[in-house]
């Protein structure tokens, strides 16, 4: 590991440390991922629609992390900075942790865990760090960060030095006890910051998809924030034969199935002593014949007791997932004014393009959930749930079946290519299951909504989320047929995964035209506002133009584009968002969706903005790093904006 400060290689200075510990009076808090309750809302209102013509770049910091040297790791920069002591703390794709002066943009220190560069990685994400304050002589102010290799580090927030009393030499190996057959180094990691609950850290994990049935367990752990000792472990899959939920898993499948992990950020309600955990699909993702049943607590929102890890309540949002429809976003804690009554609520948006809200104490739905019949599988060995849960809030994306008439292209041959594909595939709307002939998943496995989650204005009672409307193609391939298909070229451009332990390989890709644009009519990405009092859609608009996505001869249409990352809301009624695969940061009016301001960026900002205040000045900060898997140029910029004098 390497620690570098602005004064050179680390050297202790109690005078400097003391000065750095001075607090800024009246500074707005953003001391956790997503801000208070994960609402992605700031009470700051200095920046408002009347002065946006004065909003300009304040300072830009460049980390230097552009993925250099890694042989098989994509690049992204997804951090949501946390703010403390007039300092921003960020993490990068290479898991560098950096402290930056929030007023000047000057680097204060940098920690490099020195990830191995000669291995493969299933992920590139590091969505940020967590901060903890306690009564201890060693590192009383700590930064916690998880790595793509499965470690959690504790660092001194003032110096960047590892905290010697935490684990072994300042780190804990989260792969210990997680299981999984074979080598998962680089494919079992921590991509979201730990949740802090008093003197406890609660940590989930990210597990590479589609490799095999016996992948690592998706366990959630509570660690002591000082020593790293394990307080409790919760496994979303019921391993004990005495657990009543074993009935949701046929035969002995609960003993061998992995996954169902919580890879997005968790949320903590200290007052209620609850941690809210969003879980993902069990392995393997696209075939469930080895794990028949509804598979609880996979694809669920689960409330755990902070002290014990016991389940207080749970709601499954997808039964027996074979679509990779994870619960992908941080649960958002807010108050919903329903029928004139204030209800303490937890809200999630899902890859299915639905918004769900539950009472925090009981888990009862605030908006009715209905079980509706869905298509059945024709794959030998598979047995799906006959129904799936649907929110009574209108869907945020299109759920209908796609036909040849829906094919889209910017030229006749482009549209014809899409029609030819549509003609051959199974397409029955949302929850169309994978098939041997090939199926259209709409929404696709990237959503719907994804890790950008939902931003909530608690005063206006408006929820904002960005969604994708890009179908995906999925097919299951019998094991003895793969070589012939590859030899014929039928799988060119497809991502093929082994799904070991099942009878089938899986092949998938996004449904794109010969010119590389989505094969369905735009918008392909939207910004959607939901009225939380009524449970209705207030407005929706396309998010992003195609200027950085389409071939140069295609006009710059405002068609809405693929997006990842989330929105920031301000008390002054602004939505600040990058997220789109376009090199632009935008501001919209939260009540109408009117675009008020935009600024061109060096690459796409596939991240979620935050806001803070120093010396009476409000700043907006966002990571601008592109996204290699989406074809965007790599970047290493942390950019801030403030009002010009």
Active site positions, annotated: 324
Whether 63 and 638 have beta carbons less than 8 Å apart is answered as yes
Tell me how far apart the alpha carbons of residues 49 and 413 are, in angstroms, rounded to a whole number. 44
Buried b (16+ CB within 10 A) or exposed e, 186-225: bbbbbbbbbbbbeebbbbbbbbbbbbbbbbbbbbbbbbeb
Whether 180 and 214 have beta carbons less than 8 Å apart is answered as yes
Q: In angstroms, how far apart are the furthest CA atoms of the chain?
A: 72
Q: By three-state DSSP, how is residue 526 classified?
A: strand
Partners of 537 in the β-ladder: 530
> By CB neighbour count within 10 A (0-12 exposed, 13-18 middle, 19+ buried), where does 162 fall?
buried
Whether 577 and 586 have beta carbons less than 8 Å apart is answered as yes
Phi, psi (rounded to 5 degrees) for 373: -65, 145
Buried b (16+ CB within 10 A) or exposed e, 395-429: bbbbbeebeeebbbbbeeebbebbbebbeebbbbe
Helix (H) or strand (E) holding 256, with range, is helix 253-256
Cα 412 versus chain centre, distance:
37
The tokens for 447 are 């959503």
Residue with tokens 């605030």: 366
The tokens for 200 are 């406890």
Tell me how far apart the alpha carbons of residues 349 and 331 are, in angstroms, rounded to a whole number. 8
Please tell me what DSSP assigns to residue 641. E
Contacts of 252 (CB under 8 A, 6+ apart): none
Tell me how far apart the alpha carbons of residues 278 and 204 are, in angstroms, rounded to a whole number. 10
Whether 61 and 637 have beta carbons less than 8 Å apart is answered as yes
């Amino acid at each position: 590991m390497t620690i570098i400060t602005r004064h050179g290689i680390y050297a202790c200075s109690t005078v400097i440390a003391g000065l750095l510990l001075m607090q800024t009076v009246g500074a707005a808090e953003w001391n956790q991922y997503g801000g208070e309750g994960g609402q992605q809302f700031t009470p700051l209102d200095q920046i408002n629609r009347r002065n946006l013509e004065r909003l300009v770049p304040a300072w830009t910091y460049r980390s230097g992390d552009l993925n250099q040297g890694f042989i098989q790791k994509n690049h992204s920069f997804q951090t949501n900075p946390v703010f403390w002591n007039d300092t921003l703390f960020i993490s990068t794709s290479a898991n560098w942790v950096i402290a930056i002066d929030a007023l000047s943009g000057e680097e204060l220190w940098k920690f490099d865990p020195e990830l191995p560069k000669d291995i493969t990685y299933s992920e590139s994400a590091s969505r940020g760090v967590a901060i903890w304050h306690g009564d201890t002589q060693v590192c009383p102010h700590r930064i916690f960060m998880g790595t793509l290799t499965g470690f959690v580090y504790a660092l001194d927030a003032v110096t960047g030095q590892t905290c010697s009393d935490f684990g072994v030499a300042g780190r804990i190996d989260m792969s210990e006890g997680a299981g999984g057959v074979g080598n998962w180094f680089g494919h079992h990691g921590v991509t979201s910051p730990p949740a802090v609950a008093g003197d406890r850290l609660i940590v989930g994990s990210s597990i590479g998809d589609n490799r095999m049935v016996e992948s690592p367990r998706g366990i959630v752990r509570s660690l002591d924030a000082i020593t790293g000792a394990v307080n409790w472990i919760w496994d979303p899959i019921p391993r004990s034969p005495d657990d009543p939920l074993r009935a949701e898993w046929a035969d002995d499948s609960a003993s061998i199935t992995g996954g169902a992990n919580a890879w997005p950020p968790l949320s903590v309600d200290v007052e209620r002593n609850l941690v809210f955990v969003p879980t993902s699909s069990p392995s393997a993702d696209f075939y469930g014949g080895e794990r028949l049943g509804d598979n609880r607590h996979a694809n669920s929102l689960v409330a755990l007791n902070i002290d014990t890890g016991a389940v207080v309540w749970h709601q499954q949002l997808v039964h027996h997932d074979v679509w990779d429809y994870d619960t992908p976003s941080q649960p958002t804690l807010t108050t919903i004014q329903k029928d004139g009554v204030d209800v303490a609520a937890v809200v999630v948006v899902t890859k299915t393009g639905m918004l769900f809200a539950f009472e925090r104490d009981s888990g009862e739905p605030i908006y009715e959930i209905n079980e509706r019949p869905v298509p059945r599988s024709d794959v030998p060995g598979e047995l799906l749930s006959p129904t799936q849960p649907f929110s009574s809030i209108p869907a945020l994306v299109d759920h209908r079946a796609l036909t040849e008439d829906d094919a889209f292209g910017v030229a006749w041959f482009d549209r014809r290519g899409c029609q030819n594909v549509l003609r051959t595939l199974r397409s029955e709307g949302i929850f169309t299951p994978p098939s041997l002939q090939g199926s259209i998943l709409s929404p696709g496995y990237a959503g719907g909504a994804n890790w950008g989650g939902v931003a909530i204005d608690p005063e206006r009672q408006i929820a904002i989320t960005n969604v994708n409307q890009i179908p995906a193609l999925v097919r299951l391939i019998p094991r003895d047929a793969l070589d012939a298909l590859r030899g014929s070229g039928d799988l060119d451009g497809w991502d093929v995964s082994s799904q070991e332990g099942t009878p089938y390989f899986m092949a998938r890709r996004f449904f794109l035209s010969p010119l590389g644009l989505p094969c369905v009519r735009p918008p392909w990405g939207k910004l959607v506002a939901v009225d939380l009092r009524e449970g209705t859609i207030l407005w929706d608009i396309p998010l992003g133009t195609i200027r950085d996505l389409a071939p140069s001869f295609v006009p710059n249409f405002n068609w809405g584009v693929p997006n990842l990352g989330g929105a920031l809301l301000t008390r002054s009624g602004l939505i600040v968002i990058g997220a789109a695969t376009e090199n632009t940061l935008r501001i919209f009016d939260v009540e109408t969706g009117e675009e008020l301001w935009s600024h061109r960026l060096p690459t796409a900002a596939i991240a979620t903005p935050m806001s803070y205040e120093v010396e009476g000045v409000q700043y907006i900060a966002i990571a601008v790093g592109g996204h290699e898997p989406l074809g965007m140029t790599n970047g290493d910029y942390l950019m801030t904006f403030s009002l010009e004098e």
